[in-house]
Amino acid sequence: MEPLSPNPDDPRLTEPVSGIDQDGNPVESRVVVERPLTLFLNGQEIVTMMTIGDHPDYLAVGYLANQNMLLPEDEITEIDHDEDLDVVVIRTNRTTDYEERLKKKTLTSGCAQGTVFGDLMESFEGVHLNTEARLHTSELYALTKAINTMPSLYLTAGAIHGCVLCQGDQPLIYMEDVGRHNAVDKIAGYMRLNGITAGDKIFYTTGRLTSEMVIKTVHMGIPILVSRSGFTAWGVDLAREANLTLIGRARGHRFLALAGQERIVFDEESGGTDTTRVEET
């Protein structure tokens, strides 16, 4: 399948802004547009998110799924997006009422203040990641090269995070947004609406490997999480607890694995010890 990837030429996603450069010369730069999107589940307002505005259906469904508000057995009966009002409504066959749960929320380390409602560890209960999944180092090196050469808003305007669902050495779905949690949720929503299985997939993110990233990846059932950036201690602890393969600082032929190393197959030599400074995004 052709990978689903960002469209840097979409005029809704960036706009030109005038300024000056380091020499005082006038310049025009494209900057990412962020807009509010209010999410309703049936008749209840859930959250207002700041987003670039593409794929509101995937973002809404993925957000609800990753918050355990949309259960695997729930049937989505309607998705209604009003672009003028910046509202998306998800309707299900099950009556929902999350008023009490919305009162209990944990602020996460994700940029744009992503939140995880309820008990953070609830997502781990009953999740068994595929122990037979494997990642060959040759696939990892080819994958990071392929992702780095794909069209992206990051190359056009910066100030954005990207996440990619992959299989083997092939990127399948590439999503970007101002908050990495939004990019994750878009992929989760796409998987839910298109019936994509998770047990043989790899999740790639440009951002840090935080507790939030680990929790969402485990919740989606994906056994391998890769980033070009670094780790947090809690992210590593949770990955080890969930038996998630956690690979960071993946650039060129270099990487560092701190959990789930048994899934890695070393079939290509590395480029040596990574001594480069990694910018945390």
Q: Where are the beta strands (DSSP E) in the chain?
A: 14-20, 26-32, 35-41, 44-51, 76-82, 87-92, 105-107, 115-117, 135-136, 161-167, 170-177, 202-205, 224-227, 245-251, 254-259, 264-265
pTM: 0.86
Provide the 10 A C-beta neighbour count for residue 178: 20
- For the chain, report the end-to-end CA distance as a whole number of angstroms: 30
What's the pLDDT score for residue 2? Answer: 67
The number of beta carbons lying within 10 Å of the beta carbon of residue 90 is 25
Q: What is the pLDDT of residue 112?
A: 44
Helix axes 233-242, 211-220, angle to 10 degrees: 20
Is there a contact between 34 and 159 (Cβ–Cβ < 8 Å)?
Answer: no
Please choose, from the candidates 210, 188, 184, the residue with its C-alpha nearest in 3D space to the C-alpha of residue 198: 188
Residue 280 has what pLDDT?
Answer: 47
Question: 143 lies in which domain range?
Answer: 135-265
Instruction: Name the β-bridge partners of 187.
Output: none
Specify the CATH number for the domain of residue 250.
Answer: 3.40.140.10
Average pLDDT over residues 77-102: 89
Residue 16 has pLDDT above 80, yes or no: yes
pLDDT digits (tens, 9 = 90+) for 98-117: 766 666 554 444 454 444 54
Nearest to 153 by CA among 171, 131, 177, 118: 177
157 found inside a domain: yes
In a domain, 105, yes or no: no
Which is more confident, 19 or 160? 19
> 151 lies in a domain?
yes
Residue 19 in domain? no
Q: What total of structural domains would you count in the chain? A: 1
Q: Which of 121, 60, 64, 59 is nearest to 96 (CA)?
A: 64
* pLDDT tens digits, 164-221: 999 999 999 999 998 888 999 999 999 999 999 999 999 999 989 999 899 999 999 9
